[in-house]
Amino acid sequence: MEQRCQCGEPIEFEYQKGEVRKPGSVWNRYREFYGFDISESYSLGEGDTSLTSLNKLSSELGIELFAKNETTNPTWSFKDRGTFLGVQQAAKNDFSKIGTVSTGNMAVSVAAYGARFDLDTHIMVSKDIDKVKLSQIGVYGPKIYRVDGDYGDLYFRSLEVGKSKEVYFINSDDPYRVEGYKTIGFEIAEEMVPDHILIPTSSGGLFRGIVKSFMELKKSGIIQRLPEFTAVQGEGCSPIYYAYKEERDEISHVKEKNTFAKAIANPYPPSGNEVLRKLKQLDGNCVSVCDGEIISSQKELASEGIFAQPAGCVGIAAAKKLKDNERIEEGEKVVSIITGSGLKVRSGEFKGSQITDLNIDELETI
């Protein structure tokens, strides 16, 4: 394996003859699954993310575990798939103003597409948002409102104000968002129908989109059976998990939220009851994982080459739990949705690397 020529200059490989083959975008491949037209003119290239085999965790757990890596979307979270459809439809319906209620991934995503579609963009964040997140939203230049009040209530209040002020609020479980998230399911189905899909669940929009895609694939006769769907929440803010465990039909409003997985800490998920109905209908599962489990999973995922934000790791934590209590069986195929990039969160928790100070003349000591 020579890397440079003896003359000191770089070397390179010989020419080989080949051909050009163009793949279609996910929007184009699955256009038949939509009851409305999708134009790609303002797309930023959403989706077509990798389904990555997690080799170490798989052999440790005795299952086939895969990460659906949503951290490689245009604003580095799954939200872009839904935002693109929603903002496009708002523009098509002559809205000149859009908005959203979010402090994290969705705020960044809506800010980016608002800029892209050249719309007046209103982002409602919580009062105590940190500076890093504020600056990530701010790069795209939207109007930002720091709102003092309950985050769960704000969802409904924003929709009301949106109607009166002609602002299309593309919130967490907007119908177009759910349609956008279907593409995650379609892409997974191109590779396999797994036994389990583990879905970080906050508002319920992502969960609903993935479930809907597989139900539509089955209805179309393309797949014969559904995976088991597991909604995963963070302990400290898990209203869907509590209702599921207590076999209630309706979620309750969580008053104090306290989880490391901030991106999925929704105290009153607007699609919470719908998630409960789907879990009942399809014999799905709901799991809650604690901060310690999330941090371990984040490190394990990094050791497979994927750096995810804490909320993106809850599915991995759930996989371990479900394997332990045998809800996931030996050898089963499991897909965990990795919702957003670790770069988005200031990460002081990784102190794993050994750091050595060297002078250039001491390189031989490595």
Contacting a second copy within 303-322 (CB under 8 A):
303-307
The reply to whether 353 sits near a second copy by the rule CB under 8 A is yes
* Residue among 141 and 331 whose Cβ is closer to a second copy: 141
The reply to whether 168 sits near a second copy by the rule CB under 8 A is yes
Only segment of 142-150, 235-243, 289-297, 327-335 that touches a second copy (CB under 8 A): 142-150
Only segment of 28-36, 235-243, 285-293, 331-339 that touches a second copy (CB under 8 A): 28-36
Q: Which of 57, 65, 147, 251 binds a second copy (CB under 8 A)?
A: 147
Residues 6+ apart with CB under 8 A from 123: 99, 100, 102, 107, 110, 111, 137, 142, 143, 144, 145
Judged by CB under 8 A, the chain residues 192 through 231 that form the site for a second copy are 204, 208, 212, 215-217, 219-220, 222
Binding mask 227-266 for a second copy (x = CB under 8 A): ----------------------------------------
Give me the DSSP letters along 302-353.
HTTT--B-GGGGHHHHHHHHHHHTTSS-TT-EEEEEE-BBGGGS-------S
Judged by CB under 8 A, the chain residues 72 through 131 that form the site for a second copy are 72-76, 89-90, 93, 99, 112-113, 115-116, 118, 122, 124, 127
What is the total count of residues that contact a second copy (CB under 8 A)?
138
* Residue among 139 and 324 whose Cβ is closer to a second copy: 139
Give me the DSSP letters along 67-81.
EEEGGGSTTSBTHHH
Give me the DSSP letters along 263-312.
GG--SS-TTHHHHHHHHHHHT-EEEEE-HHHHHHHHHHHHTTT--B-GGG
Helix (H) or strand (E) holding 199: strand 196-200
* Residue among 53 and 258 whose Cβ is closer to a second copy: 53
Question: What is the distance between the alpha carbons of residues 9 and 269, in angstroms, rounded to a whole number?
Answer: 60
Smallest separation, CB 230 to a second copy (Å): 20
Only segment of 178-186, 231-239, 318-326, 329-337 that touches a second copy (CB under 8 A): 178-186
CA contacts within 13 A on the Cβ side of 74: 21
Q: Which of 13, 225, 325, 330 binds a second copy (CB under 8 A)?
A: 13
Strands 64-69 and 51-53: antiparallel
Only segment of 6-14, 228-236, 259-267, 284-292 that touches a second copy (CB under 8 A): 6-14
Pick the closest to residue 318 from 294, 299, 301, 298 (CA basis): 294
The reply to whether 174 sits near a second copy by the rule CB under 8 A is yes
* Residue among 205 and 315 whose Cβ is closer to a second copy: 205
Residue whose tokens read 């809907």: 212
According to DSSP, the residues that pair with 307 across neighbouring strands are: none
* Residue among 141 and 292 whose Cβ is closer to a second copy: 141
The reply to whether 53 sits near a second copy by the rule CB under 8 A is yes
Q: Which of 18, 247, 255, 283 binds a second copy (CB under 8 A)?
A: 18
Q: Is 305 exposed, middle or buried (0-12, 13-18, 19+ CB in 10 A)?
A: exposed
Give the other-Cβ count within 10 Å of 156's Cβ. 13
* Residue among 123 and 265 whose Cβ is closer to a second copy: 123
Q: How far is Cα of residue 349 from the mean position of the Cα atoms in its chain?
A: 21
Judged by CB under 8 A, the chain residues 32 through 51 that form the site for a second copy are 32-36, 41-45, 48-51
Question: What's at 161, amino acid-wise?
Answer: V
SS3 169: strand
Only segment of 252-260, 279-287, 310-318, 340-348 that touches a second copy (CB under 8 A): 340-348
Residues 6+ apart with CB under 8 A from 40: 25, 27, 28
Only segment of 227-235, 253-261, 319-327, 344-352 that touches a second copy (CB under 8 A): 344-352
Only segment of 167-175, 229-237, 255-263, 279-287 that touches a second copy (CB under 8 A): 167-175
Residue whose tokens read 């580095």: 76
